[in-house]
Amino acid sequence: MQSDAIGLAAAWLVATSPTFLIMFKTLMSDVPAAAFWALAVYGALGTSTRSAALAGLAASMAILIRPNVAPVAAVIALWLAFADPKGPRRSFLFAAAAAPGAIAVAAINQSLFDSPFSSGYGDLASLFSLDNVPKTLGSYTRWLVETQTPLVFAGVYVAWIAPLLGCVLLAVWMLYAAYPAFDAWWFLRFLLPAWPAMFIGTAAAVFRLVRGRRAAAAILLLDLGAYGIYATNQRSVFVDGSASTFSSRRGWINRLHG
């Protein structure tokens, strides 16, 4: 299977994803956090101790940006410890390099909220609950089908071709399945750290499905990206000044200051 072709196709699917496009346009932390997690996974997939340390630094930055996804660093460290030929050493270097981000977040929370496990959003127990899982998973599933077509779920195939990516995909979904369900499709943004893994899996599954007919694979993948752009446009993301997705939030802010 051509890894370069899969990588290019996955990049196309990420770049044309409605969730990525709306958050790329919006000045929020989701895309930077996802980018650093992608860099962390890339470094973990390397073979040198240097790449493991760089992966840890990337994870440290990702944790500083979006602490909620910090457990993904533990998943990467465990994978390095037990599945990598140079396991213990690379795992230790990764963990040591990732630790400053987690320590900094804990120290900030302790200083501001009197607990390393609290934040401006509340404590962990109030944010994550198994009671949220059915509604949240239902919402994510519906929004993914609406914005990416059902073929997006072929992304789980990544677990068979790249187990670390599969573990990261599962970890992100498990974390946010327990998060409260919201009422707008763009809350798929929480899952953006799983986008590279998911779309690598989708692209690989398409190549596997057509079994060597690269032209057919290219057409299908181009169509999937085109649908993503269409779905993005249907949601007025490309309309300057419309900000339809955030209208309710903006109205709330205006009332607050008005």
pLDDT in tens, the chain (258 residues): 458 889 999 999 999 999 999 999 888 899 999 999 999 999 999 988 999 999 999 999 999 999 989 999 999 999 999 887 766 889 999 999 999 999 999 999 888 888 887 777 766 666 788 888 999 999 999 999 999 999 999 999 999 999 999 999 999 999 999 988 888 999 999 999 999 999 999 999 999 888 778 888 899 999 999 999 999 999 989 886 544 444 444 443 343 334
How far is it, in rounded angstroms, from Cα 175 to Cα 191?
A: 9
pTM for the whole structure = 0.87
How much is the pLDDT for 51? 94
Q: Where are the alpha helices (DSSP H) in the chain?
A: 3-15, 18-25, 30-44, 49-65, 71-83, 87-113, 124-127, 133-148, 158-161, 163-177, 195-210, 214-234, 247-257
How far is it, in rounded angstroms, from Cα 42 to Cα 63?
A: 16
How much is the pLDDT for 256? 35
Q: Greatest CA span in the chain, whole angstroms?
A: 61
Domain residue extents for the chain? 3-250
SS3 118: strand
